[in-house]
């Protein structure tokens, strides 16, 4: 089955604390999320493995893959569907070697120079951004805007997902830039109704069905 990047949820445990992380994911998937990334910079590996296993069980039968952010050991031990790494995270080569050919592996890209150095043959997709500055990630790179997004998408041979300060109102601009979908954190995590928050994203979901 082709990888559906239409609506990519990146979790934030702190933002999800009122509703609950698992409840947020469950409701968001019902609302249209097509891929989930477990991201937690503060949890231990053991805590993340336990959380990943719970999410993996929750997502069983939905067709929505679970991706782990950065932690290669967590991805291995939880039997998650894949791993997303940044430019300073675990090497793509090592991730592919240890996780195997069936794993979904993604890489964050912010510049043309990074794109030119990317081992595309080892990846399934790239995350491009941040499009805008975002409080969800304090150490983010320089925002690239929709113009920068379009330039990187055009130069990239792989499916791409835009990330960074994006909301439902940005969907058409992201689609026009050529990305295959958009990734969000606070647009769903921390919202009082994650189901309705996910439902607000319609452009890519409609396109993937048609």
Alpha-carbon distances of 77 from 31, 46, 48, 97, 142, rounded to whole Å: 29, 10, 10, 15, 34
C-alpha–C-alpha distance, residues 136 and 133, integer Å: 9
* C-alpha 50: how far from chain center: 20
Q: 142, 130, 144, 146: which is closest to 185 by C-alpha?
A: 130
At how many degrees (to 10) do helices 21-31 and 45-59 cross?
A: 40
C-alpha–C-alpha distance, residues 25 and 31, integer Å: 10
State yes or no: 136 annotated in a binding site: yes
Number of residues that this document lists for the chain: 210
Active-site positions read: 39, 108, 137
State yes or no: 139 annotated in a binding site: no
State yes or no: 148 annotated in a binding site: no
C-alpha–C-alpha distance, residues 162 and 97, integer Å: 26
Q: 43, 24, 22, 58: which is closest to 190 by C-alpha?
A: 24
Q: Which residues define the annotated binding site?
A: 37-41, 69-70, 89, 108, 134-137, 165, 185-186
């Amino acid at each position: 089955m082709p990888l559906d990047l239409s609506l990519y949820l990146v979790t934030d445990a702190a933002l999800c604390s009122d509703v609950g992380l698992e409840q947020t994911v469950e409701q968001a998937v019902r609302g249209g999320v097509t891929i989930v990334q477990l991201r937690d910079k503060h949890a231990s590996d053991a805590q993340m493995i336990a959380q990943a296993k719970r999410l993996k069980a929750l997502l069983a039968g939905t067709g929505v893959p679970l991706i782990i952010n950065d932690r290669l050991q967590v991805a291995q031990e939880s039997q998650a569907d894949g791993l997303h790494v940044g430019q300073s995270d675990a090497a793509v080569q090592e991730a592919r070697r240890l996780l195997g050919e069936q794993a979904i592996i993604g890489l964050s890209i912010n510049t043309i120079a990074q794109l030119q150095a990317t081992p595309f043959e080892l990846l399934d997709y790239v995350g491009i951004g941040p499009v805008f500055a975002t409080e969800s990630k304090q150490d983010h790179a320089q925002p690239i805007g929709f113009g920068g997004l379009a330039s990187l998408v055009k130069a990239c041979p792989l499916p791409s997902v835009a990330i960074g300060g994006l909301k439902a109102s940005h969907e058409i601009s992201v689609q026009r830039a050529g990305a295959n979908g958009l990734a969000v954190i606070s647009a769903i995590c921390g919202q009082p109704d994650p189901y309705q928050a996910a439902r607000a994203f319609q452009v890519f979901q409609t396109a993937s069905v048609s």
